[in-house]
Amino acid sequence: MSRESTWRKSSYSSNTDGSSCVEVAFAQVVRVRDSKNTGGSSLAFSAGAWRAFASRVGAQQQV
């Protein structure tokens, strides 16, 4: 990535035990990483692919 993005932790992530945390950064692409391994790799999605994913996850939570 040419410039550093601001990483945001999931609102569903626990701040007390540190388990199952993900972070997301929005720039030209949407990046997702494990907050326990911030120096490791991350996944990159196009904005359209991220919207489709988030929409699908939101629909599953309403079921």
Provide the residue ranges of all domains of the chain, joining segments of one domain with +. Answer: 7-61
- Predicted confidence at residue 21, as pLDDT, reads 80
Banded pLDDT at 63 (limits 50, 70, 90): low
Binned at pLDDT 50, 70 and 90, residue 1 comes out as: very low
Is residue 8 left, alpha or beta, with left meaning phi > 0 and alpha meaning psi from -120 to 50?
beta
Measured CA to CA in angstroms, residue 12 lies from 15, 50, 57 at distances of 9, 18, 13
Distance between CA atoms of 42 and 32, rounded to whole angstroms?
5
Residue 11, φ and ψ in degrees, nearest 5: -70, -15
The predicted-structure confidence for 13-35, as pLDDT tens digits, reads as follows 666 565 668 888 888 899 998 88
- Cα–Cα dist 55/21, whole Å: 20
